[in-house]
Amino acid sequence: MKEFFCGTSEITGARFSIHPMSDRFVDIILSSLKETDTTKVWMKSDDVSTCVRGRSEHVFDVVKAIYLNASKGGDHVVLNATFSNGCPGDSAGDAFMAEDSILMNDELSQKINQEVATQFALYPLGFLGYMDVIIDQIKTVDQHGVFSGGVHYASRLDGDAKKVFAALESAFESARNSDSSHIVMTVTMSANSPSRKEGQ
């Protein structure tokens, strides 16, 4: 039950899944995992999703690299991720908080250009002023030049995946510095969608 008592730890986690809309989905997922350096995060996969935990910058670095590696072949690939900060870690996770800040996958990720369409939502918990945090972070993503407007229950970002990830990470980190002690951010990111090619 210890996951239920949240509020102080600095460990960031992401629970995510990668969905290649292809008969080759198993190969695509396995090779994207293989091409990604995950040595600086705690990581565990089950039959529904994968969880990575550690320093916030490494969590974003790893999720971004896995997604870029999965989508670079041109398949329609969707990422669904929930980023979370404010639930305490455990000894297995906290061990990774001692890692340095050098990103293990940035050089590889910088070489991959991939247009994506993204919808995200931010949920600052345990805090009456949560709407102010959300509005502030819309301004943050807008400064990154990828904000495309609001839709019901989400905000939309379009552009190169690296820029979109930078905006998402920036919004998440700024929200962490708000008065909310527990921040959750959901992300749905789509690459190479045939609907998109048809002009949506």
Binding-site residue ranges for thiamine: 18, 50
Residue 3's binding partner among a second copy, Ca ion, none (Cβ under 5 to 8 angstroms by kind) is a second copy
* Residue of 118, 137, 140, 178 that binds a second copy (CB under 8 A): 118
Distance of CA 46 to the CA centre of its chain: 18
Cα 155 from Cα 142, distance rounded (Å)? 11
Q: H helices of 17-129, where?
A: 25-34, 56-71, 91-94, 106-110
Binding status of residue 163 toward a second copy by CB under 8 A:
no
Cα 77 from Cα 99, distance rounded (Å)? 30
Q: Where are the beta strands (DSSP E) in the chain?
A: 12-20, 42-45, 50-54, 77-85, 115-125, 147-151, 154-160, 182-191
Q: Please, which residues bridge with residue 84 across strands?
A: 13, 184
Binding status of residue 176 toward Ca ion by CB under 5 A:
yes
Binding status of residue 91 toward a second copy by CB under 8 A:
no
Binding status of residue 170 toward a second copy by CB under 8 A:
no
Binding status of residue 182 toward Ca ion by CB under 5 A:
no
Yes or no: say if 95 and 22 are a contact pair by the CB < 8 Å rule. Answer: no
Minimum CB distance to Ca ion smaller for 58 or for 176: 176
* Stretch 28-67 residues interacting with a second copy (CB under 8 A): 44, 46-49, 51, 53
Binding site for a second copy (CB under 8 A): 1, 3-6, 13, 15, 17, 19-23, 25-26, 44, 46-49, 51, 53, 76, 78, 80, 82, 84, 87, 117-119, 121, 123-128, 130-131, 134-135, 138, 150-154, 156, 184, 186, 188, 190, 193-196, 200
Binding site for Ca ion (CB under 5 A): 176
